[in-house]
Structure 1
Amino acid sequence: MAVLAAAAAADFALPNCPDKCGNLTIPYPFGVTKNCYMGPDFFINCTANGTAFLRRTNILVTNISVDLGEIQVQQYRAYDCYDEMGKRNHNIPWIWVAPPYTISGTKNKFMAIGCDTYATFRGYRANQERFITGCISFCDRLYSGEQDSCSGIGCCLTSIPDGLKNCTVTLASYYNHTYIRSFNPCSYAFVVQEGHFRFSDSSFQQLHNKELLPMILNWEIGNEPCDAAQETTQNSSCKAHSKCVNPNNRSTGYICQCLPGYEGNPYHPNGCQDIDECKASNSCSIGVCVNSPGDYSCKCPKGYKNDGMNPKSCIKDNRSKTILLLIISLGASGGFLLLVVGSLWIYWGMQKRKFIKLKEKYFKENGGLLLKQQLASQGGSMETTKLFTAEELEKATNNYHESRILGEGGYGTVYKGILPDNSVVAIKKSKVNGAPAQSDVFINEVIVLSQIKHRNVVRLLGCCLETPAPLLVYEFIVEGTLSEHIHKKIGKRSSLSWELRLNIATETAGALAYLHSSALMQIIHRDVKATNILLDEHYTAKVSDFGASRLIPLDQTQLTTLVQGTFGYLDPEYFLTNQLTEKSDVYSFGVVLMELLTSKVALSFARPEEDRNLANFFVRFMEEDRLNEVLDDDIVNERNVVTLKKVAEVAKRCVRLKGQDRPSMKEVAMELEGMRVTPKQPWGKSEVSSPEDTEYLLGSAMNSDAYFVDVRGDFGSRGATIGTTSGYDSIQIQMVMPYDGR
């Protein structure tokens, strides 16, 4: 961590104020005694033994940087241990951070260590925006000397964003360390400065003996950005020869930094001090160095001159020779001009050929040849998908401006694009360039979507293969995801009535039935969930996210694959056997039906442990004849009670443990279609044709958030990541839909 440079002329503390607490340098605006710090937020409590604490807390301070607006503190790690009898002993400290301090997202990582461990990290920003992330690690033995990466085997890590305060850590295990207690009785979780903890086979013993780990906090001055603070001189804390800096886009205040050519403390009344560059060796390789405020120049000796507009270097003065060379060059200008024109023409041709070869290279790397082969083998052709040029999509997205971002997932970013005909599209740009696995994901999605022609499936409009990262172009779905509506996510106007929910469920079931039995080749979606069902302007359902889907040949009924899906929706039979069938989609759709009936999320750690999984929770209440207790009160009325119970029975059958006991999607679609009551409105079954009609079908305004949990890999030896979604943002299991409407 960079600390203020130790220059002789630099002033750290205010006059007559201590500038040390033990070995820690205390620069202003911080201070250890009254009138020596800018405000109570910058008080350093220095104990008699030279230990420094932040304000009146027990947070130990070990370094302070005025240049970067950072302090290094020591934070207690959380632990969760079990003795030989399985008795739990744990301590999970609360990370206290209050303005003007926030946890640095660029300098810290969240880590969990253990062989039966899952940990979460929650925090809030100044506007009360909530963030949650976490990870899972498993292992069945300690790896002696061969396991030094934090990849999910005994250790997992994840990033956190800037600007978080008042954070909490939760730490638990799935099996109470029952099977690994002999060699790993404890789990640990902590936020640590990046690069200050390296996982190895000795990490468990190291954490057993070490309670504190370093963490970086950002700090700032005031609650106004630079432009507001500099309107009047007295409002700015930046002194002479310094500048005001907005640390990042999450900051509400500012920090000060010395101008180039100056060093010291920009908050000190004396300001930053000039650096005498002439005292440094080789400042001027030729001539005499002349120092000036904030800069220096070189006074050249006879026969030399400054190099053009650069006063810091000297070159030989060849003006007389230059005149002679100019005369000679004018005499040969005609031939030289022809040579230049010819060279430029050749160069232009070479560059053009190079550009064409580069686009051909990207085409191959992005799976263009594989796409042609697959489309041909599926009976299609390149004409089924429009090929956009890179220039077209750059113009449509305003050169991929951040204001056009609709959402981000693990494998790509979705942008809003406006084509020359003013049609609005969604454009997915992959994050990884030239990675073979990513090309497979991209091609798989194109192949899957090229087989689908259905009004309730998001339509693929085209793709672009001549860029470093492959691009997919989809129809733009304006009303976002079903999850955002039924869970009343902020930003949506209202929740959905039961009539609309039943229409959406029926349309989704019909789309999945089509994928299973009516497409040219059976397609198993493999990640059916509320966030992958989009709603258009008429509230028509659109199934999305085919990055994880698989085409099943007609002569096969099941396929062995690496388990992929989302916890809460994941078919337990598929999870245990790795045998993928269409009944896995039936299970996931049953969970979506339960969400529509209850407005509860599929997996919630806020519910009691036995009720975290909505499927188990819902079935248990039905078997106890308590269905009315879990239904969403906003959709229940005396006219639809019978229909609600019938739909609940369908959902219950869909989530039976054995796939052979579940109905097919075709049977589910037929049952739901039979239950759907056709309202006497001009739009028929499911389409909304006017704002008044839409308002009739919609419920109350949304005012709460929902969160989702996705897990990567299996529990045997791989880690997983728990995260949230907000807006269009998505964290997927393995393969991410280019546009999921979020």
Structure 2
Amino acid sequence: MGVQFVMRITFLLLLTYGLAEAAPPPMAMPGCKDTCGNVSIPYPFGMTAGCYLNDWFKIVCTGKGSSARAFLPGINMEVLEIKISNPNNDDYSYSSSFEPGIVLVKMPIIISSNCANTVPRNSSVNMKGSPFYFSSYRNKFISVGCNNMALMTASDPTVLVGCNSDCDYKTMIGRGAKCSGFKCCQTAFPYGNQVFNVNFESKDEKNKGIEKCKYAFLAEEEWLDTNLVVLHDRSYEVQLLEYVPVTLEWTVCKFNTLSPTEAVVRNAYWGSTKYGTEYYYCRIGYEGNPYLNTGCQVIFTSFGVLFLITRWLYKVIKKRNKIKLKQKFFKIMVLRQQLSSNENSVQKAKLFNSKELEKATDHFNENRILGKGGQGTVYKGMLIDGRIVAVKKCNTVDEGNLEQFINEIIILSQINHRNVVKLLGCCLETEVPLLVYEFIPNGTLFQYLHEENEDFPLLTWDMRLRIATEIARTLSYLHSTASLPIYHRDIKSSNILLDDKYRAKVADFGTSRSVAIDQTHVTTQVYGTFAYLDPKYFQTSQFTEKGDVYSFGVVLIELLTGERPISSTRSQDRNLSIYFINSLEENHLFDILDTQVSKVGNKDEIMTIANLAKRCLHFNGKERPTMTEIMMELEGVKSFCLFNQLEELEFVRNEEMGP
């Protein structure tokens, strides 16, 4: 039974029985005006006192008739469209649940200060404290210009996202997609952000004077689909645009306006986004406004129930076909990699079924959550055979997340190392990808270094030295011993897990890359954690193994100082790398060490590690040591430490035995 068959049945049912449709339920508060020009205004939004929930949802309507314009003064933006969460619309594809309410607004394009005949604009947006969030899955970050690297900062200052573009026709070869680096580049926007600001940098310092005019903005994907040709082929026309449409998500649940009991009475369900905000939507078969007392109402009469059932069948079959297409897509990608590598290692990853993983995680119960990140949520689960596992559920099924999902399968299937988290398999049946890993019980290195908790024992100097050595040994293996060099590209303390014996396990290979020997990885996108990213990477767009060395250097400093990579408590040097190097050069190193290091650690060993970290952070990547050299140096320190301990034990034993 296919989709076309169901559509034919639906058409026949409609002809046979007819459709008696009820009057549409109200969307605004009783007695309140529900339109401003062409914009519908549903509650909790409103235009006069008593018609909106609070001042954040107040709409100011200017002008008259169809030319009237709606504004949200709370965030100083013009409104183009408002939608209530409703599962009866066909365009809902937000993960495995429905999307929250959205508002389409106009946002200005940010223009650099070097554009002829154009006034520069740097209109940063800060919506902190409001119920509005930039939609990650409906918006893209766009940068236009030559020799342009645009970096945006968001709510979390440690996360840096951006992309770079140039006008070198040589780089255009092989870039078939629009806005893929030639005159224009694009990248995804992080989840749950309420802040948007952009900084422009030159991609190539040598060509700083070439075409300095640069633009950057967020834009809704539907708008982009229509305008990408202009951005790619006639990028100069961007300066003619003043505003572009951007989608915001909104929530009222932080104001506790609707209890779960009231939601049931109003025929509504509760939902939540991947970054924790909550919303309500009508049950399937109902429509209306769940935030009003009138709630959601049945759509059809008794004859229309047949149509409702047919519609449900249509959606089921459509969803099933979607899953089949995704399965085919994944298998083709994995097979392609398998054939190109001449290895069968990819087959080691088991294909789990969705029911097995749902049962293992108690239907992805919130109580089973181990952690949340930009790419997904990790749940603790127990398989039928009793094995404890970690199941990562991707946030969305957009192109970027699919690429990282497949990439992680491919990379981890090539790796067999005791200090790398083992991938057990994946599930291709679900609407969002699932990855299954071995369970690592003791959390992340970041937690032990930076979070005060009685459950986290203090890491001694010996433990820190061993952990650093294990990480270095792993990266040396990835860079030098693997069949093809693998660059991790996201080494940080939160990606280092600790097992039951507090041994390091390197995790999160979603952004890693396998590269041919003597090649570097060139990318138009810049994505990573700010304090750990190689500054040279920003200039060249080339990620080499020395980028991992820089990130490892930051982790070494964390182990030495116990300080966070970015901290507002350090008034002069928020960046830990700068703070550390300045302290080392001013002979204040021992003033900033963690107490577990300064009290127990040998001073010569500490200075050796500190100088090694400094070399890892050298601005010129060529001056940094390789991970193999780092591993050997750390193992030398570790061996020397062990030798001293044995000598000390021998001395104590001789003293006890006497002459």
Q: Encode CA deviations 1:184-215: one digit per residue, 9 max, x unaligned.
A: 4123233x333124332477544423333323
Q: Encode CA deviations 1:390-416: one digit per residue, 9 max, x unaligned.
A: 469936962894346756889998664
1:138 paired to 2:165: yes
C-alpha distance in 2 between matches for 1:471 and 1:65: 30
C-alpha distance in 2 between matches for 1:371 and 1:110: 33
C-alpha distance in 1 between matches for 2:514 and 2:190: 33
1:366–1:439 contact (8 Å) kept in structure 2: no
C-alpha distance in 2 between matches for 1:502 and 1:473: 30
The equivalent position to 1:157 in structure 2, one of 175, 182, 187, is 187
1:422 paired to 2:386: yes
TM alignment of 1:395-544, pairs within 5 A: 398=360, 401-403=363-365, 416-420=380-384, 422-426=386-390, 442=409, 445-449=412-416, 452=417, 457-458=419-420, 460=422, 475-488=438-451, 493=456, 496-509=459-472, 526-527=487-488, 529-543=492-506
Deviates more, 1:487-496 or 1:65-74: 487-496
Q: Residues 471 and 58 (structure 1 numbering): CA distance in 2 closer, same or farther, change over 3 Å?
A: closer
C-alpha distance in 2 between matches for 1:373 and 1:399: 35
SS at match of 2:443: coil
SS at match of 1:149: coil
Q: Residues 599 and 639 (structure 1 numbering): CA distance in 2 closer, same or farther, change over 3 Å?
A: closer
SS at match of 2:76: coil
SS at match of 2:487: coil
- CA drift at 1:158: 1.0
1:63 paired to 2:81: yes
1:195 paired to 2:222: yes
- CA drift at 1:485: 2.8
C-alpha distance in 1 between matches for 2:153 and 2:142: 10
Q: Residues 257 and 542 (structure 1 numbering): CA distance in 2 closer, same or farther, change over 3 Å?
A: closer
- CA drift at 1:295: 0.8
Q: Encode CA deviations 1:625-662: one digit per residue, 9 max, x unaligned.
A: 34346544664348644432232123334556546976
Amino acid paired to 1:526: Y
SS at match of 1:75: strand
Structure 1 partner of 2:654: none
C-alpha distance in 2 between matches for 1:19 and 1:522: 64
2:150–2:162 contact (8 Å) kept in structure 1: yes
Structure 1 partner of 2:152: 120
Amino acid paired to 1:562: H
C-alpha distance in 1 between matches for 2:343 and 2:213: 51
Structure 1 partner of 2:613: 651
C-alpha distance in 1 between matches for 2:477 and 2:24: 77
SS at match of 2:180: coil
The equivalent position to 1:560 in structure 2, one of 519, 522, 531, is 519
- CA drift at 1:515: 7.5
SS at match of 2:636: helix
Structure 2 partner of 1:108: 139
C-alpha distance in 1 between matches for 2:359 and 2:598: 44
Q: Which runs of 5+ in 2 are unaligned?
A: 1-20, 87-100, 310-326, 650-659
Q: Residues 491 and 408 (structure 1 numbering): CA distance in 2 closer, same or farther, change over 3 Å?
A: farther
The equivalent position to 1:171 in structure 2, one of 199, 206, 214, is 199
Q: Residues 252 and 367 (structure 1 numbering): CA distance in 2 closer, same or farther, change over 3 Å?
A: closer
Structure 2 partner of 1:46: 61
- CA drift at 1:605: 11
1:215 paired to 2:215: no
C-alpha distance in 2 between matches for 1:40 and 1:464: 46
Normalising by structure 1, report the TM-score: 0.58
1:94 paired to 2:125: yes
Q: Which runs of 5+ in 1 are unaligned?
A: 1-5, 125-129, 276-293, 299-308, 314-357, 376-380, 553-557, 685-742
Count of residues in correspondence between the two structures: 563
Q: Residues 19 and 590 (structure 1 numbering): CA distance in 2 closer, same or farther, change over 3 Å?
A: closer
C-alpha distance in 2 between matches for 1:650 and 1:397: 48
Q: Encode CA deviations 1:534-563: one digit per residue, 9 max, x unaligned.
A: 3122222334567858799xxxxx643536
Which structure has the bigger radius of gyration?
1
Q: Encode CA deviations 1:280-309: one digit per residue, 9 max, x unaligned.
A: xxxxxxxxxxxxxx41549xxxxxxxxxx9
Structure 2 partner of 1:75: 107
Q: Encode CA deviations 1:313-355: one digit per residue, 9 max, x unaligned.
A: 9xxxxxxxxxxxxxxxxxxxxxxxxxxxxxxxxxxxxxxxxxx
The equivalent position to 2:632 in structure 1, one of 667, 672, 691, is 667
Amino acid paired to 2:382: I
Q: Residues 427 and 593 (structure 1 numbering): CA distance in 2 closer, same or farther, change over 3 Å?
A: same
2:78–2:105 contact (8 Å) kept in structure 1: yes
C-alpha distance in 2 between matches for 1:586 and 1:98: 38
TM alignment of 1:634-713, pairs within 5 A: 635-637=597-599, 640-654=602-616, 657-658=621-622, 664-665=629-630, 667-676=632-641
C-alpha distance in 2 between matches for 1:270 and 1:573: 56
2:136–2:188 contact (8 Å) kept in structure 1: no
C-alpha distance in 1 between matches for 2:220 and 2:565: 34
SS at match of 2:587: coil
Q: Residues 410 and 428 (structure 1 numbering): CA distance in 2 closer, same or farther, change over 3 Å?
A: same
The CA RMSD measured in Å over matched residues stands at 5.9
Amino acid paired to 2:272: N
Normalising by structure 2, report the TM-score: 0.64
Q: Residues 466 and 591 (structure 1 numbering): CA distance in 2 closer, same or farther, change over 3 Å?
A: closer
1:185 paired to 2:213: yes
SS at match of 2:612: helix
2:202–2:539 contact (8 Å) kept in structure 1: no
1:586–1:664 contact (8 Å) kept in structure 2: no
Amino acid paired to 2:191: P
- CA drift at 1:111: 3.4
Q: Residues 549 and 600 (structure 1 numbering): CA distance in 2 closer, same or farther, change over 3 Å?
A: farther
1:448–1:550 contact (8 Å) kept in structure 2: no
SS at match of 1:504: helix
Amino acid paired to 2:636: E
Q: Residues 634 and 55 (structure 1 numbering): CA distance in 2 closer, same or farther, change over 3 Å?
A: farther
Q: Encode CA deviations 1:161-181: one digit per residue, 9 max, x unaligned.
A: 35x54x242323246998365
1:571–1:588 contact (8 Å) kept in structure 2: no
Amino acid paired to 1:424: I
- CA drift at 1:478: 1.3
2:143–2:164 contact (8 Å) kept in structure 1: yes
- CA drift at 1:620: 5.3
Structure 1 partner of 2:555: 592
C-alpha distance in 1 between matches for 2:538 and 2:56: 54
